[in-house]
Amino acid sequence: MSHPNLPMTEVLVVADCWQREPDSEAVIQRAVAAAAESVDEDVADAEVAVMLTDDAGIRTLNSNWRGIDKPTNVLSFPALQPEGEWKPGDAPRMLGDIAIAYETMRREADEEHKPFDHHLSHLAVHGFLHLIGYDHENDDDAEEMEALETQILAHLGIPDPYADRAGTH
């Protein structure tokens, strides 16, 4: 059963460490679909690319694009949107790219006693929301984004990822 507002999500595995988690692509597909179904943004006929990398790969991206020379769990790169309205027959609209680092994500899941697939779902949802314009640059925006993430994850049967970190962003 297809939902009319779902983007096409391509998952690219570029680091061998992800082979330890063979269900990762399905987890990401499900998380992005749940996020797309939960927002008012029109993401039908759009594309998202999710790169599953390692700490070395994401460290390079983080250094090159953000000037921060260390690994992180997830990075989002929203695509510039073309002028004018999208019409049927046009090339798919790129929402952007998400990169997720295995080692950092695995360590966080273990330290926070969260199932791997729950944390992966959270990072995929978080990255997707960044692609459509959400951010956490100030407290109000962070609260809005976290509330939406919590709602989307609850729809997936995943507990509030912020429950143990009240008051932090």
Q: Which residues are annotated as a binding site for Zn(2+)?
A: 126, 130, 136
Tokens of 90: 């046009």
Candidates 95, 71, 98; CA nearest to 81 is 95
Spatial distance between the Cα atoms of 61 and 71, rounded to a whole number of angstroms: 9
The arrangement of strands across the sheet holding 93-101 comes to 8-13, 46-53, 93-101, 74-78
Candidates 79, 105, 144; CA nearest to 27 is 105
Please tell me the total number of residues recorded for the chain in this structure: 169
Annotated binding site, which residues? Answer: 126, 130, 136
* Residue tagged 């096409």 (tokens): 8
Side-chain-side CA neighbours of residue 43 (13 Å): 27
Contact 60, 109 (CB under 8 A): no
